[in-house]
Structure 1
Amino acid sequence: MAKKTETTVEDKLRALYDLQLIDSRVDEIRNVRGELPLEVEDLDDEVSGLKTRIDKLKTDIETVNYEITAKKNMIEESKALIKKYSEQQKNVRNSREFNSLSKEVEFQELEIQLAEKHIKEFKAQIDQKKEVISETKERLTERESHLKHKKGELDAILAETEKEEKALLKKSEEFEDKIEERLVNAYKRIRSSVKNGLAVVPIERGASGGSFFTIPPQVQVEIATRKKIITDEHSGRILVDPVLAEEELEKMTKMFAKL
């Protein structure tokens, strides 16, 4: 941090209020973006998740189709065995051999029935998975369209505000450098603990800016002298007189217009 030159209390108050105006402008820009970046990120994650789900369902269908092929091959093998056993039955020497072959034929017929039952179940699974894929694709198309729209919104806002935000953040650093570290730390501490990030506020209609608590007349006079840094006893905010605030707002508005 650069070495600070000796400044009056008024200079410090002006610098603090200028810093507040810059940081408040950055807050406004970020509020315009709002939840959009998070919304885009969530949509992106959802789209990726839907694509992964579709890919998994397609892989599941491939696996089930492989199972169907295996069952069909098994059926053909069983049919071949039935044919073989039936031929052998023509040449048996006794009833015991005939009955033994009959049991083999019966077993293979049961194997065929079981395989056909499994094939039917597998095909039902495929139909169900295809239905889920169709529904998921519809959801994916809708979410991708929504994501494209939201990304377009975010890109437009970024294009409009990114340059100004970077310039303001640089100015914020420059203005911080004009103020002694103790005051900057106090300013940041107050800013992080109060509503709307307003750490330095002017007196408005006899009260602290953004507050309903009246400032005693003698304190208002003291603030107007700009001889010491005075904080609001209720909110802890640093107070400046309305004339100084108006002068600095006019000056900073001109600076913002050039960014």
Structure 2
Amino acid sequence: MANTKEISVEEKLRALYDLQLIDSRIDEIRNVRGELPLEVEDLEDEVAGLTTRLDKLKNDLESIEFQIKEKKNAIDDHKAAIKKYSEQQKNVRNNREFNSLSKEIEFQELEIQLAEKHIKEMRASIEHKKEVIAQSETKLEDKKTHLQHKKSELKDIMSETEKEETFLMEKSAEYEAQIEERLIKAYKRIRGSVRNGLAVVSIERGASAGSYFTIPPQTQMEIASRKKIITDEHSGRILVDSSLAEEEREKMEQLLAKL
């Protein structure tokens, strides 16, 4: 929330330029980090996804092996049934009983053939899944190594810049509090609409910094008088004179040198 104390236009301009210097430095720090935080996040998601996939593949493998075991037990049961029916055939009283037992034996033999066919298919599936598991494990290890490298890289950058960034963000909030809400909204709107994030720029060689459009001498004099907030008609940026800008840059350098 802005302070109720009324401050001069020059004080507002200084506070705005200080805020710009601070926010630009925060931008630089974040540019150094670049896409690293997102890369780390993406790699963590990939590692989690691969781990889940591997767990599922291993569970599938266990399930298939269990099914093979069940099929083998079923084959043993079918063989026991064949042996029993064959023994019974030795004691039949007529052809009808013999043929009935023969059909039972034939059915059990077909069940054995079907079970053996399923076992063969499941063993082929196991071999395929083992290959996929091996490939997935290699890929997972590569991703984990890459993730550790990126995390280490990010940690190094964070340890170098975290203290400065925290300090700057606190200062940014302090300077915002000195400026009326209307100006802060304008500052943020301009900052968000330009590629380099510069909403407040100084006059350099008769033009606003980074611009080729010359500012009329009369306007330059008005800017130097620091009596009102003046914006560049081409870019919409807030303009300050070079002397004020230099003074504030020196002040900011001294502030940051204490870190």
Q: Counterpart of 2:28?
A: 28
The structural deviation recorded for 1:3 is 3.4
Partner of 2:244, secondary structure, is helix
Is 1:22–1:171's contact at 8 Å kept on the other side of the alignment?
yes
Q: Counterpart of 1:171?
A: 171
The structural deviation recorded for 1:2 is 6.1
Give the alignment's Cα RMSD to 1 decimal. 1.4
The structural deviation recorded for 1:236 is 0.8
The structural deviation recorded for 1:257 is 1.4
Per-residue displacement from partner, 1:169-216 (whole Å, max 9, x unpaired)?
A: 111111122223332222222222222211100112322222222212
CA distance in structure 2 between the partners assigned to 1:181 and 1:103 by the alignment: 94
Q: Normalising by the residue count of structure 2, what TM-score does the alignment of the two structures yield?
A: 0.95
The structural deviation recorded for 1:14 is 1.3
The structural deviation recorded for 1:4 is 4.4
CA distance in structure 1 between the partners assigned to 2:93 and 2:25 by the alignment: 104
Q: Counterpart of 1:154?
A: 154
Q: Please give the residue correspondences for 1:1-259 in structure 2 after superposition, counting only pairs within 5 Å.
A: 1=1, 3-259=3-259
Amino acid at match of 1:136: S
5+ residue gaps in structure 2?
none
5+ residue gaps in structure 1?
none
Is 1:78–1:109's contact at 8 Å kept on the other side of the alignment?
yes
Q: Which moved more, 1:86-95 or 1:6-15?
A: 6-15
Is 2:3–2:179's contact at 8 Å kept on the other side of the alignment?
no
The structural deviation recorded for 1:7 is 2.9
Q: Which moved more, 1:87-96 or 1:141-150?
A: 87-96
CA distance in structure 1 between the partners assigned to 2:249 and 2:144 by the alignment: 44
Q: Which moved more, 1:241-250 or 1:129-138?
A: 241-250
The structural deviation recorded for 1:94 is 1.9
Partner of 1:210, secondary structure, is coil
CA distance in structure 1 between the partners assigned to 2:153 and 2:184 by the alignment: 35
The structural deviation recorded for 1:129 is 0.8
CA distance in structure 2 between the partners assigned to 1:176 and 1:95 by the alignment: 105
Q: Which moved more, 1:226-235 or 1:203-212?
A: 203-212
Identical residues among aligned pairs (%): 71
CA distance in structure 2 between the partners assigned to 1:207 and 1:45 by the alignment: 48
Partner of 1:203, secondary structure, is strand
Q: Normalising by the residue count of structure 1, what TM-score does the alignment of the two structures yield?
A: 0.95
Q: Which moved more, 1:21-30 or 1:95-104?
A: 95-104
